[in-house]
Amino acid sequence: MALYLSKSGKLLPHFKQKICSLGMISLTSIGSCFSQNPPLSPEHGKTPYAPPSLFASRRFGSVKAENLASITNTADSQALNFPGGMVKFTPELKFISDLPEERIHCYRVLDESGHLLTSDFVEIDKDIAVKMYKDMAMLQTVDTIFYEAQRQGRISFYVTTAGEEAINIASAAALSMDDFVFPQYREAGVLLWRGFGLQDLANQCFGNVGDNCKGRQMPAHYGSKKHNYFTVASTVATQIPHAVGAAYSLKMEGRDACTITYFGDGGTSTGDFHAAMNFAAVLEAPVILFCRNNGWAISTPVSDQFRSDGIVVRGQAYGIRSIRVDGNDALAVCSAVHMARKMAISESRPVLIEALTYRAGHHSTSDDSSKYRPIEEIEWWRAVQDPVARFRKWLEIQGWWSCESDTELKDRARQEVLNAIQVAEKMEKPGVGEIFTDVYDFPPSNLRDQEKLLRQTVLRHQRDYPHFQL
């Protein structure tokens, strides 16, 4: 049975929608709650889909010239059709509250012991569930060994996904291979799920001739055209408007696919985030905006970043359907992304997902998070809220996993990662000429001069550049 998504762009054949309230709301009930454009009609090759009430959205009508008469002659003097839609008047001098009395609830399927809390989720079969766990466990192993390799001076930099393994793997499992991924830098698990191998990861981190980025990227800044995974950029949040623009392109082409972009809570403090949100909402781009709210933008806590109730409320402000999920719950993440993808494509609309989690490791190997948060806090999250352990407990309850299987998996994973690193270390570095390729068809004179100067410098100082291949 195939474990990967087909190139046809269809949803995972292994997913089976539970007969429950999630996704079972009728179009009639939706219409009573929302005023919005209708979903694409069957004549366009799309099936109308009723979104679940978990996602909040609203779209207002606009004033048109032919309706001006009705505005001035309205019988209801307590309302007026302003540009943007009908607004009721009130005699009360009342300001909107700065903060709600209660925070937006967080969608969760599994408790810390791996037991189901609801039947309101998308089912996955044994093969997919086991693959999800294996990839999460492998991701933990990769992070541990690559982090150690950086500390040993074998690679220059690394960033882990500690505490966010479920976000990586569970979201990837709900996508199609035809969907385009615009990552931040903590989504290596999405690549693993899509078939990017351990040797590919190691080659990129060591920047050798096997690196498809040709050694021009920082370690852990992956990219793969084959896997529809756009190359990571360290610049914060620049990938968000890119994802929205690409989604709009897919919409114009009538493709049965969407884009997904990942970003942290810190990324939402940038102008790119807000511009992308408005762009996505107004042009109704089929994009999933996935925020990993792990509590910290490097050393800046969310309490110093914003006063709002997290990120989910910003979706409603921009007119984007939104949901908050437990980022440490693989089934909750998988269900939310599965439903968001269906809505994004069938209704041609953006969807915002805020996954609440905790960054259980340092921001990167350049950071020491013990300087700004208690070690006891970090250890508690690692021990009590580990998303990999929670999902394993659910698998064991299902009778799909055992302690013996777990020991065998982790021993094999460690050996495979170590072997990949040893192979990557022995491979040559790309030639210096690769620094100047893949931008211009015919390099301009200034680049040709720079390449010539670089080659001369390397030849004069070969001891200082032992790994440079001319």
In angstroms, the Cα distances linking 413 to 45, 143, 154, 269, 438 are: 43, 12, 20, 37, 35
Long-range contacts at 368-375 (CB < 8 A, ≥ 24 apart): 369/296, 369/299, 371/299, 372/299, 373/296, 373/301
In angstroms, the Cα distances linking 115 to 21, 174, 277, 390 are: 20, 21, 36, 9
332/107 Cα distance (integer angstroms): 7
253/444 Cα distance (integer angstroms): 35
319/58 Cα distance (integer angstroms): 6
Residue 165: strand, helix, or coil: helix
152/133 Cα distance (integer angstroms): 29
DSSP assignment of 81-120: EETTEEEE--S---PPPSS-SSPPP-B-SB-TTS-B--S-
8 Å CB contact between 266 and 160: no
Active site positions, annotated: 148, 234, 363-364
> Beta strands 321-326 and 351-356: pairing type?
parallel
39/61 Cα distance (integer angstroms): 16
CB atoms within 10 A of CB 309: 15
